[in-house]
Amino acid sequence: MADLKKNIQYVKGVGEARAKKLNKLGIYTLEDLITYYPRDYEDRSKIKKIAELQDGEKCSIEGIVVTSLNVRMLGRYKSIEKVIIRDETDNCMVTWFNQPYIKTQIKKGETYRFFGKMSIKNGVKELNSPVFEPISQNNKTGKIVPVYPLTYDVKINEIRKIMQNGLDLVGNFEEVMPRYILDKYNLIDYDKAIKQIHFPVDFESFRKARRRLVFDELFTMQLGLLKLKAENNEEIKGIKYDENVNMSDVINDLPFKLTKAQLNVLEEINSDMEKERPMNRLLQGDVGSGKTIVAMIAAYKAVKSGYQVAILAPTMILAKQHLDNFEKILGKYGIKCEGLVGGMTAKQKRLALERIESGEANIVIGTHALLEENVNFNKLGFVVTDEQHRFGVKQRSKIIAKGENPDVLVMTATPIPRTLALILYGDLDISIIDELPPNRKHVETFAVSKKLETRINEFVKKEIEKGRQCYVVCPLVEESEDPEAPKLKSAVELAEEYKTKIFPNFKVECLHGKMKAKEKDEIMEKFKNKEIDILVSTTVIEVGVDVPNASLMIIENAERFGLAQLHQLRGRVGRGEYKSYCILKCNAVNDIVRERMEIMTKTDNGFTIAEKDLELRGSGDFFGTKQHGIPEFKIANLFQDMEILKEVQSLAIHIIGQDENLEKEENKPLKKLVEKKFPSNVEITI
Ligand code: ADP
Ligand code: MG
């Protein structure tokens, strides 16, 4: 077996120039090459009869050439080549462009196999630019041919050839998985799987090959994550919080009753906090399920046990809102809260930093500013990151490093099906708040096309006249936006239109990401104080903002948002006592958009929505897996392969349960696989 680390340049047919192009596809080594899996296949294996072909069909046919090749020059470099071929059912024209050299390759009276696209116009059959070869060969036709995802300026045929050369160079691939697993799960050998994934002899072998490779990929990932988690569980000594500090002191003082789900989660957190090993917990709960109060009560316990707490929020607006809430509820227990956000004056910042360093500030709430190097804590023991999906992996570890193995609570409103959560957050324990507070209102949701604009505006007017407020959300317009695409209005343009044309009598303001933090704050404050009727914004308001008087949300170009995101946005209304509405305005409507909007109007369960979204969009788009720091999958598709995922999860749990360090003889190959995917010199925190 050739060395899989071999530079791609030395594979037959590559060379220096082509190697550079392949590098652009992420292919540097022989191994990268052979794991560059096809995106699709072209079935050239079924030979069809000319008489049975349909217009537009891609097909293989075998036919005898009945005319000599006619080359018609159309100027110096342009030409058309034509022959007529025949099989026992019918005849058809075959046409190429600018390939006069075909003359030497095709002979009247001989039979060839062609693969191309048939066009039938007014009964005239014409096969366009097919590949072809004598029927004694099957290099290009007569078989299933891989289609690779991206090829840049390497031609697809060249990649196919290089791939074949790469496979030939390797010869026989060593088995990487223990035999007992292959047998138990009925998996084909690695050697066969790799070869068949590129050049399957039929679709059954393709399916077997794919199953094997998906299994490997998901299983290795799962094993690695469970191993990480097991390691986290034992070695590190964290903080053991005071058993005599009772969360119920705060709970009993609250103006509302916690839900059963909130109480359960608090119990889990409390028990984690009282243990010596550091807590690493993901708290998942739909928008409005009341995660903040949970964090607050946990923070109370940490502070009263003598530690500082850091709360990391994704936006300034949210940090500010948290600060207000924390002060309101925890202030009376003598707990001091400090805000730290960008946009503070130098003096404000210096004083805040001093109070943080001296320990005078018990709870520090801030944005990214918290991560800066000059922020020193006195005794940081508890870290909360809110809306984790906004933070990169690195950022979490940065804040954690400011304490001494602090307990960590990661909160997210992105509802992730549990199986996926296990993959994405394999190193965390998971708590779920699966119940909304009883006073929560169902948000009536409508999907409408732009045509109904006048009626929508009428409706907005009525709501505002009743004293309510309205959000208008539009998608972020990227500067690199396709110039051909129908022009989208930016938040600024839209706000202008609302202000001057549609609602000149109402107070309209605009909020967008490029504004200064201070301006954003002022506007949000005004909106909270009912000084603004209509707030036009980009998705800056997506996370966390609480304005109970806002009862209406209009989402412009709703088709451009992910469902999970729409659901988050919608969670901004229906927070007060008023009946609330969400109107999804769609510009471009097709079947998928229709289906997606229907899901939004029919369900308000974040988990159901997330699953559907995943189903319709695939996992790639779902939450930008890259952001989560997990390696991208080369072949697995988290939705399509849910069954395999479940299989490997229980297998991995079983194996790690019995042989945590993968030291048993039979599991040694697994250890190798995991080490390859999770090299110990690379820090992986998710
Ligand atoms: P999210 O989980 O989306 O972050 P929040 O923590 O912002 O939700 O809670 C939304 C609102 O619900 C807040 O105003 C909060 O005070 C309130 N709330 C939280 N828990 C309860 C409860 N058990 N009963 C009533 N209201 C609650
Ligand atoms: Mg929140």
3-state secondary structure 437-480: CCCCCCEEEEEEEHHHHHHHHHHHHHHHHCCCEEEEECCCCCCC
Cα Dmax for the chain: 98
CA of 565 relative to ligand 1 center, distance in Å: 19
**Percent of the chain whose pLDDT exceeds 90:** 54
Find, among 593, 470, 612, 607, the residue nearest to 530 by Cα.
Answer: 470
Please check whether residue 670 is in contact with residue 221, taking contact to mean a CB–CB distance below 8 angstroms: no
CA distances 165 to 19, 34, 56, 344, 526, Å, are 14, 10, 33, 61, 67
Residue 598: its pLDDT value, please? 92
Q: Whose CA is nearest to atom 18 of ligand 1?
A: 290
Q: Alpha-carbon distance 581 to 444, whole Å? A: 5
Domain(s) of CATH 3.40.50.300: residues in the chain? 248-433, 443-603
Mean pLDDT for the stretch of residues 639-643: 77
Q: Kindly tell me if the per-residue pLDDT of 416 is higher than 90.
A: no
Task: List the strands of the sheet with 363-366, edge to edge.
Answer: 337-340, 363-366, 308-312, 380-386, 407-412, 280-285, 429-433
Average pLDDT, the chain: 86
Query: Predicted confidence band at 632 (pLDDT cuts at 50, 70, 90)?
Result: low
Please tell me which residue, 430 or 99, carries the higher pLDDT value: 99
Beta bridge partners of 285: 433
Query: Predicted confidence band at 542 (pLDDT cuts at 50, 70, 90)?
Result: low
Residue 640: its pLDDT value, please? 74
Q: Whose CA is nearest to atom 24 of ligand 1?
A: 437
Number of H helices, E strands in the chain: 22, 22
**Coil vs helix vs strand at 582:** strand
Q: Rounded to 5 degrees, what angle do the CA atoms 435, 315, 638 make?
A: 55
Mutation test of ligand 1: which of 390, 546, 572, 575 has the most ligand atoms closer than 8 Å to its C-beta? 546
Query: Predicted confidence band at 457 (pLDDT cuts at 50, 70, 90)?
Result: very high
User: Which pair of tokens denotes residue 685?
Assistant: 């925190």
> What is the phi/psi pair of residue 447, to 5°?
-110, 125
Find, among 596, 255, 256, the residue nearest to 436 by Cα.
Answer: 256
Query: Predicted confidence band at 571 (pLDDT cuts at 50, 70, 90)?
Result: confident
Residue 97: its pLDDT value, please? 93
Query: Predicted confidence band at 426 (pLDDT cuts at 50, 70, 90)?
Result: low
Among the listed ranges 5-9, 266-270, 483-487, which one has the minimum average pLDDT value? Answer: 483-487
CA of 551 relative to ligand 1 center, distance in Å: 17
For the CA of 575, the closest atom of ligand 1 is 11
Residue 686: its pLDDT value, please? 35
CA distances 80 to 83, 91, 102, 530, Å, are 10, 19, 11, 71
Which residue in this structure is represented by tokens 């943080």? 356
Mean pLDDT for the stretch of residues 33-60: 91
Q: Rounded to 5 degrees, what angle do the CA atoms 571, 577, 578 make?
A: 75
pTM of full prediction above 0.85: no
Residue 391: its pLDDT value, please? 55
**Coil vs helix vs strand at 631:** coil
Mean pLDDT for the stretch of residues 563-588: 87
Q: Alpha-carbon distance 587 to 454, whole Å? A: 15
For the CA of 325, the closest atom of ligand 1 is 16
Residue 110: its pLDDT value, please? 95
Query: Predicted confidence band at 682 (pLDDT cuts at 50, 70, 90)?
Result: very low
Q: Kindly tell me if the per-residue pLDDT of 685 is higher than 80.
A: no
Model pLDDT for residues 294-319, shown as the tens digit of each residue: 999 999 999 999 999 999 988 777 88
Residue 427: its pLDDT value, please? 65
List the CATH code of the domain at 46-142.
Answer: 2.40.50.140
Query: Predicted confidence band at 507 (pLDDT cuts at 50, 70, 90)?
Result: very high
Find, among 137, 223, 110, the residue nearest to 176 by Cα.
Answer: 223
CA 663 to chain CA centroid, nearest Å = 34
Q: Alpha-carbon distance 649 to 226, whole Å? A: 9
Instruction: Kindly identify the ligand whose nearest atom is closest to the C-alpha of 290.
Output: 1
CA of 577 relative to ligand 1 center, distance in Å: 14
User: Which pair of tokens denotes residue 398?
Assistant: 């940065």
Q: Kindly tell me if the per-residue pLDDT of 24 is higher than 50.
A: yes
Residue 629: its pLDDT value, please? 41
Residue 368: its pLDDT value, please? 83
Among the listed ranges 175-184, 363-372, 448-457, 559-568, which one has the minimum average pLDDT value? Answer: 559-568
Q: Alpha-carbon distance 179 to 186, whole Å? A: 10
Residue 25: its pLDDT value, please? 84
For the CA of 571, the closest atom of ligand 1 is 3
Q: Whose CA is nearest to atom 10 of ligand 1?
A: 288
Q: Alpha-carbon distance 143 to 46, whole Å? A: 8
Q: Kindly tell me if the per-residue pLDDT of 48 is higher than 80.
A: yes
Query: Predicted confidence band at 288 (pLDDT cuts at 50, 70, 90)?
Result: confident
Among the listed ranges 163-177, 307-321, 326-340, 509-523, which one has the minimum average pLDDT value? Answer: 509-523
CA of 60 relative to ligand 2 center, distance in Å: 58
Model pLDDT for residues 317-369, shown as the tens digit of each residue: 788 889 999 999 999 999 999 999 877 889 999 999 999 999 999 999 998 88
Q: Which 8-state DSSP code applies to residue 286?
A: -
Model pLDDT for residues 215-258, shown as the tens digit of each residue: 999 999 888 888 877 776 666 788 999 999 999 999 999 999 99
Does the structural domain 248-433 have CATH classification 3.20.20.60? Answer: no
Find, among 659, 446, 452, the residue nearest to 553 by Cα.
Answer: 446
Residue 117: its pLDDT value, please? 93
**Coil vs helix vs strand at 557:** coil
- Which residues are near ligand 1 (CB < 6 Å)? 256-259, 262, 285, 287-293, 413, 437, 439, 544, 546
Q: Kindly tell me if the per-residue pLDDT of 592 is higher than 50.
A: yes
Instruction: Kindly identify the ligand whose nearest atom is closest to the C-alpha of 286.
Output: 1
For the CA of 285, the closest atom of ligand 1 is 2
Mean pLDDT for the stretch of residues 664-668: 93
Domain 443-603: CATH architecture, name and number where available: 3-Layer(aba) Sandwich (3.40)
Mutation test of ligand 1: which of 250, 254, 256, 260 has the most ligand atoms closer than 8 Å to its C-beta? 256
Q: Kindly tell me if the per-residue pLDDT of 545 is higher than 80.
A: no
Which segments within 137-233 are labelled E, that is strand?
144-147
